[in-house]
């Protein structure tokens, strides 16, 4: 005999499929959904039901956009500079950069980073579309805004090879000490990069 009602077990199982959610957390979420006003559970249900149909990928920048739009507003916005392109791995990286509010170029989402271990080859990423944009929009600068990881470096190197014959400035985000972190707690590689990239005061 099952101890819990079927609908509750079903909800616990469903929540358990979320990333990083174990059985106890899933139980907590399900019990919360049941104990609280019905409208909270229905709000989540409603949002999840429409998420796939209401969102599409911009065919130009590969950012996520409302399905009623043709192209990302971050690209069509005439106040933004199309000749400067920040290349990011995932759509959410755009949010992180937009929050700072100082970048006024456009974005290009690769859809991942080159990772032979995970079977992600350059062909799986939106690099050909980036090369096409370079010609179409007469791009002057490409900012590689990728993670400071092996995959990020590999992808940066690959893109560099692809555009070495073009007249483009290729930059990448500075590596160094994060603000607020004590020097003594910084890891070996970060400190090495901070030293290599030291600037005049």
Footprint of a second copy on this chain (CB under 8 A)?
1, 3-8, 10-11, 13-15, 17-20, 25, 27-34, 38, 40-52, 54-55, 64-67, 73-74, 77, 91-92, 94-95, 98
Nearest distance from residue 125's CB to a second copy, in Å? Answer: 15
Closer residue to a second copy (CB): 20 or 178: 20
Closer residue to a second copy (CB): 94 or 134: 94
Nearest distance from residue 188's CB to a second copy, in Å? Answer: 27
Closer residue to a second copy (CB): 20 or 119: 20
Closer residue to a second copy (CB): 17 or 199: 17
Nearest distance from residue 162's CB to a second copy, in Å? Answer: 26
Closer residue to a second copy (CB): 26 or 142: 26
Nearest distance from residue 25's CB to a second copy, in Å? Answer: 8
* One-letter-per-residue 3-state SS of the chain: CCCCCHHHHHHHHHHHCCCCCCHHHHHHHHHHHHHCCHHHHHHHHHHHHHHHHHEEECCCCCCEEECCCCCCHHHHCCCCEEEEEEEECCHHHHHHHHHHCCCCEEEEECCCCCEHHHCECHHHCCHHHHHHHHHHCCCCEEEECCCCCHHHHHHHHHHHHHHCCCCCEEEECCCCCCCCCCHHHCCHHHHHHHHHCCCCC
Nearest distance from residue 193's CB to a second copy, in Å? Answer: 25
């Amino acid at each position: 005999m099952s101890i819990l009602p079927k609908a509750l077990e079903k909800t616990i199982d469903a929540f358990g499929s979320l990333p990083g959610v174990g059985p106890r957390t899933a139980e907590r979420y399900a019990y919360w959904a049941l104990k609280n006003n019905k409208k909270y559970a229905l709000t989540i249900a409603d949002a999840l039901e429409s998420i796939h149909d209401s969102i599409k990928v911009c065919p130009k920048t590969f950012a996520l956009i409302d399905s009623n739009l043709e192209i990302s507003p971050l690209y069509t916005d005439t106040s933004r500079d199309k000749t400067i392109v920040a290349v990011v791995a995932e759509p959410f990286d755009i949010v992180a950069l937009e929050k700072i509010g100082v970048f006024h170029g456009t974005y290009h989402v690769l859809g991942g980073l080159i990772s032979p271990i995970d079977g992600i080859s350059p062909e799986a990423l939106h690099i050909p579309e980036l090369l096409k944009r370079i010609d179409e929009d007469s791009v002057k600068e490409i900012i590689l805004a990728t993670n400071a990881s092996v995959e990020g470096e590999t992808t940066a190197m690959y893109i560099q090879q692809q555009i070495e014959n073009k007249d483009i400035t290729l930059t990448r985000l500075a590596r160094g000490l994060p603000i607020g972190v004590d020097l003594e707690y910084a890891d070996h590689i970060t400190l090495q990069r901070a030293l290599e990239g030291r600037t005049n005061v």
